[in-house]
Amino acid sequence: MTQAILAKAGRDEALTPAEIGSLLAIGDAAGLQDLYDCAYRVKARHVGRVVYFRGLIEASNICIKDCHYCGIRKSNHNVTRFQMDEGEILREALWAFEHEYGSVVIQAGERQDSAHINLIEQVLRRITAATAGGLGITLSLGEQTATTYRRWREAGAHRYLLRIETTNPQLYRSLHPPDHDFQTRVDCLAHLRNSGYQVGTGVMIGLPGQTLDDLVNDILFMQAMDVDMVGMGPYIPHHDTPLGRPLSPITPSHQLAALTLGLKMIAVTRIVLRDVNIAAATSLQTLSPTGREMGLRCGANVIMPNLTAAEFRCNYTLYDNKPCTHESAAACRECLARRIDRLGETIGFSQQGTPRHYLKRNEKR
């Protein structure tokens, strides 16, 4: 059964929802290996064996949202809040450029005030000017108006990552306060597409109450939205959040199950979406020291080394045991480069790594 589905995937034939569900349900070691190998071949064929680095700049942990799972939610008063200024964000982006990272991701808690919108716009203009437009810039700054998205795009941003978190509206409601709206998030993804961004979305994997059918629907949603990029990773509890409390100890078998489910989602998403960019999320590394490399072996082609200055980094704790919180940007770069080399993959240094999917859609126009 599994073999027949993987053979179809190998021929780039479309899979039915039931077939996608069967792949996500694989539990035996041999079946998993076949799935990962198949996804790796699809990746090699459609996007090549090249890994792109996106330097991650965690620009601020100030947030107006109150998501029940997130460690930097507004109501968590045990966080020391920080906000990088223009110069600090610019300095990290230029470090990335000089160290041949093709692109950066500017991520932060959500703010919609005009001071914030202006600051991001200014930073985008300064990075673009200082690198002559050579550095790819992804934003991950939450829900904004269509006008704001357009202003940031015009100021130099190329890509935007806005995770839908889960496509089950009922589960979405249970994870967020009543004023956080699923449809608004879907609308934001449409605004981003209309503003000319390379658009990315994704979900948390292994949320309490989430079923395999939900994950199948998540993959079908990403396909229906025709996204260019996927960023998704395992849900990891944070002790100061409603969803993470009371914290039950994570046993090694829980950890392995969460890691495996995360890897299966990457593999099946690669098989279904084929030519998009898929990030090996940092939360994979919380579950295993080499979790992100495993992600690359299962179909991911993007890694996001953390550039955030050490003084801020330990306060950007979305979940417990976030890895590398004490490592410098330089140490992250070297250790990742070594690990990727060992996998036999090349790093696309100084390349923006625009998703093939985006390039093809624009060729068709």
* Rounded-to-integer distance, Cα 102 and Cα 91, Å: 16
Scanning 106-114, 170-178, 209-217, 347-355 for contacts with ligand SAH by CB under 6 A, the matching segment is 106-114
Peptide linkage before 177 cis (omega within 30 of 0): no
| Least Å from the CB of residue 34 to ligand SAH | 28
CB 302 within 8 A of CB 200: no
Among 106, 219, 222, 236, binds ligand SAH (CB under 6 A): 236
CA angle 303, 307, 312 (to 5 degrees): 130
Structure-token pair, residue 292: 């992100």
Q: Which residues contact 225 (CB under 8 A, 6 or more apart)?
A: 189, 199, 201
CB 67 within 8 A of CB 180: yes
Task: Assess 34 for contact with ligand SAH (CB under 6 A).
Answer: no
Binding residue count for ligand SAH, defined by CB under 6 A: 19
Site for ligand SAH in 288-347 (CB under 6 A): 318-319
* Rounded-to-integer distance, Cα 93 and Cα 142, Å: 20
Task: Assess 76 for contact with ligand SAH (CB under 6 A).
Answer: no
Scanning 31-39, 46-54, 158-166, 193-201 for contacts with ligand SAH by CB under 6 A, the matching segment is 158-166
Task: Assess 140 for contact with ligand SAH (CB under 6 A).
Answer: yes
* Rounded-to-integer distance, Cα 320 and Cα 181, Å: 26
| Least Å from the CB of residue 112 to ligand SAH | 11
- CA-closest candidate to residue 293, choices 318, 247, 259, 256: 259
| Least Å from the CB of residue 75 to ligand SAH | 14
Scanning 89-97, 107-115, 218-226, 252-260 for contacts with ligand SAH by CB under 6 A, the matching segment is 107-115
Task: Assess 264 for contact with ligand SAH (CB under 6 A).
Answer: no
The pair phi, psi for residue 330, each rounded to 5°, is -65, -40
- Angle between helix 252-273 and helix 17-24 axes, rounded to 10 deg: 150
Among 9, 26, 123, 162, binds ligand SAH (CB under 6 A): 162
Task: Assess 79 for contact with ligand SAH (CB under 6 A).
Answer: no
Nearer to ligand SAH, 43 or 163 (CB): 163
Q: What is the 3-state composition of the chain as percent helix, strand, coil, each rounded to the nearest 5?
A: 45, 15, 40
Task: Assess 238 for contact with ligand SAH (CB under 6 A).
Answer: yes
Among 36, 52, 69, 82, binds ligand SAH (CB under 6 A): 69
Nearer to ligand SAH, 156 or 200 (CB): 200
Among 198, 283, 285, 308, binds ligand SAH (CB under 6 A): 283
Among 142, 200, 262, 295, binds ligand SAH (CB under 6 A): 142
261 C-beta neighbours (distance < 10 Å), count: 18
The binding site for ligand SAH (CB under 6 A) comprises 69-70, 107, 109-110, 140-142, 162-163, 165, 204, 233, 235-236, 238, 283, 318-319
